Amino acid sequence: MAKGSFFGLFGSKPKSNQESKPEAEEKADDKAKQNEEEQASAPAETKQVEPEQPQSEPQQSQPKPTEAETPPESDPQPEQEPESVAAALAPDAAEVCAQVTAEVAAREAPAKRPTRKGLWSRLTDGLRKTSDSIGEGLFGLFRDKQIDDELFEDLETQLLTADLGVPTTTRIVKRLTQQANRKQLKDAEALYELLQEDMAEILAPVDRPLVIPTQDGPFVILMVGVNGVGKTTTIGKLAQQFKREGKSVMLAAGDTFRAAAVEQLQVWGERNDIPVIAQHTGADSASVIYDAVEAAKARNVDVLIADTAGRLQNKAHLMDELKKVVRVMKKLDVNAPHEVMLTLDAGTGQNAISQTKLFTEAVGITGITLTKLDGTAKGGIIFAIADQFAIPIRYIGVGEGLEDLRPFVAKEFVNALFRRDQQQQ
């Protein structure tokens, strides 16, 4: 083989090594650069992750600061006390505060008297059922009618239905018939006006309010009546009204037979800061009232109201016990009782007539309180009582409120019954 060929054979190899070395170096350099870039990028990524970790931790621990912040939020609440004290109080304290406020309001409430218009509205509302029977019922009867026998027959039926009773109804119809003939009336509505005048005249003689004079010793009111007529409630309301007028009042729990009667009267006394003289249930009623009269005289009380047990008017021995009470009172004051007030339930109708008769015979009734007129359409009984007995009607009850027990005024009663003067002030 020739020498040239030998070098020619191997000459190309070193040349290729020389040529490949730069390529390898370039690859190595490239790889080194990649490594450097990777190394450079690795810290960069680490630096980016590290700040994220502290951010992620607070996100997970956010509920903890919320729990820690809750107690401090409750601390500033007392700063709101000047705006709303009750809101910051405990539930029990708030209830007590509300109760005290209610009691204070209840004590201050009686000082606010209803307006004249308010009293008139209460009266007309209380007499609505009786008014529907008498006032509006009669108005419809007379409207666009001729005066004849049929009209008077219908009038008689209407008055009897309203519980005026046979004697009073007969008297009214007879008088109207005479007036119609004498005045030659042809218009039934004019006769209706005469009817109102006649009914007002029946009530006028009993329109005598109770007057308590200034005297030495207490003015003694003896309350009588059968069970269930509202006697004890009437006593409580009268006591409140007298106290409003500036009078000193005492109560005597003389109903020692009915269960809880003594306690009921004591509750009325406690509510209104009025002393109550009482003994145990079953005690002698005359003894209780005797002690009460003595106590009232010793304390210079203005008014003594004595309760008694409800009695059936057809039981002679019970009425005898009531007579005993009157005799015992007269041992301390010959003029006592100064008022014997009979309480009647308007809803009992004609039975109220027999009650009035027998109680008058037993102890001499000097005044009447007619209760529960708001609950009956038969309030016409008041005309029968006034017509047959002429006993003063002191009070009428037309509702549950204190102001609903009101002094009887005949003109106002008739106006309310016939729905006249609706705009009274």
- Is the pLDDT at 87 greater than 50? The verdict is no
pLDDT, position 127: 83
Mean pLDDT of 53-65: 41
Q: What pLDDT, on the 0 to 100 scale, is given for residue 343?
A: 97
Q: What are phi and psi of 369, to 5 degrees?
A: -115, 120
Most confident stretch, 53-62, 102-111, 172-181: 172-181
For every residue of 266-328, DSSP letters joined together read HHHHHHHT--EE---TTS-HHHHHHHHHHHHHHTT-SEEEE------TT-HHHHHHHHHHHHH
**351 pLDDT above the threshold of 50:** yes
* Binding region: 225-232, 307-311, 371-374
pLDDT at 312 over 50: yes
ω before 205 within 30° of 0 (cis)? no
Place of tokens 């070098």: 7
Does the pLDDT value for residue 18 go beyond 80?
no
Question: What per-residue confidence (pLDDT) applies to 42?
Answer: 44
Task: Return the pLDDT at 263.
Answer: 92
Give the full edge-to-edge strand order of the sheet including 405-407. Answer: 276-277, 249-252, 303-306, 219-224, 339-345, 367-371, 393-397, 405-407
pLDDT surpasses 80 at 278: yes
Answer whether 394's CB lies under 8 Å from 207's CB: no
More confident call, 373 vs 121: 373
Provide the pLDDT for residue 34: 58
For residue range 389-404, what is the model confidence (pLDDT) as tens digits? 999 999 999 988 888 9
Q: Which of 24-33, 225-234, 253-262, 280-289 has the lowest mean pLDDT?
A: 24-33
292 versus 60: which is more confidently predicted?
Answer: 292
What pLDDT score was predicted for residue 243?
Answer: 96
Q: Does residue 292 have a pLDDT over 80?
A: yes
Measured in Å, how far apart are the chain's first and last C-alpha atoms? 155
Percent above pLDDT 70 for the chain: 70
Mean predicted lDDT score pLDDT of the chain: 77
35-44, 320-329, 347-356, 379-388: range with lowest mean pLDDT = 35-44
Binding-site annotation, residues for GTP: 225-232, 307-311, 371-374
The Cα–Cα gap between 331 and 286 comes to 11
pLDDT value for 265 = 94
Residue 355 has pLDDT above 50, yes or no: yes
Confidence of residue 113 (pLDDT cuts 50, 70, 90): low
**Cα separation of 235 and 66, whole Å?**
65
Please give the residue that has the higher pLDDT: either 221 or 161: 221
**pLDDT tens digits for 207-247?**
999 999 988 899 999 999 998 999 999 999 999 999 999 99
**The pLDDT value given to residue 47:** 41
Residues of the chain with pLDDT > 90: what percent?
48
**Residue 318 and residue 224 in contact, taking contact as beta carbons nearer than 8 Å:** no
pLDDT surpassing 80 at residue 168:
yes
Give yes or no for residue 54 having a pLDDT over 50: no
- Choose the weakest-confidence range: 135-139, 210-214, 229-233, 319-323: 135-139
